Amino acid sequence: MSEGVAPVDVEHAILLVMDFQPGIVDRVADAEALLGRVAGAIATARARGVAVGYVRVAFEDPDYDAVPPTNKIFARLAEGRVNHADSPATAVHDRLAPEPGDIVVRKTRVGAFSTTDLDQQLRTRGISTLVLAGISTSGVVLSTVRDAADRDYRIVVLADGCADFDAEVHDVLLGKVFPRQADVVKVAQLDELLTVA
């Protein structure tokens, strides 16, 4: 067992794959290696009976109109009509494609919860533990860790299943910030953490 990390009950856990879409993945250094690790995590989760969910950021026309100019990140996207929901750049990356029965939510802000019904879907399924992989560490992963902790989920972050456009920020979050609210492990440790209740 990974040192100091309690086992994860597979019946009440989900692996959330967040913002792995071509328009984002293509900007990450060593994207192929990252995709390979996350594909491995998905395969491990499925083999052990863990639910898999996907979060993508994409906008429909009314979503653009609803972004106020005060929103520093999304006002620029809305103005340029970037990341439209119909664009192939906003689909889940082919290497990590969802399967029937997986949760898939579309968000219009940074975190996985605030503009989706993800929390309701997880509660309905009896999910109490989130295993997170995402791009970027300082974006969707940080926002989702904070929000999920406030919602009393147990959180496991796959350190090498996340990437950021700033390596220093990535390291600080994984090493100093996330451990206050989450277990931080490597993808290779996932199989040994997953247990049947």
For residue 2, tell me if it sits in a domain.
no
Give mean pLDDT, residues 36-54: 97
CATH number of 159's domain: 3.40.50.850
The Cα 86–Cα 23 span in angstroms is: 13
Nearest Cα neighbor of 61 from 49, 77, 50 is: 77
Contact indicator for 35, 22 with CB cutoff of 8 Å = no
* Residue 167, domain extent: 12-189
Contact indicator for 120, 107 with CB cutoff of 8 Å = no
Q: What is the pLDDT of residues 167-177, one digit of tens each?
A: 999 999 999 99
Tell me how many domains the chain contains: 1
For residue 3, tell me if it sits in a domain.
no
For residue 196, tell me if it sits in a domain.
no
For residue 7, tell me if it sits in a domain.
no
| pLDDT of 143 above 60 | yes
For residue 197, tell me if it sits in a domain.
no
Nearest Cα neighbor of 139 from 166, 121, 103 is: 166
The Cα 97–Cα 173 span in angstroms is: 27
For residue 54, tell me if it sits in a domain.
yes
Percentages of the chain per state (helix, strand, coil), in multiples of 5? 45, 20, 35
Q: Which residue has the tokens 């199989």?
A: 191
Q: What is the pLDDT of residues 47-88, one digit of tens each?
A: 999 999 999 999 999 999 999 999 999 998 898 888 999 999
For residue 111, tell me if it sits in a domain.
yes
Q: For residue 195, what pLDDT band results from cuts at 50, 70 and 90?
A: confident
The Cα 170–Cα 134 span in angstroms is: 12
For residue 136, tell me if it sits in a domain.
yes
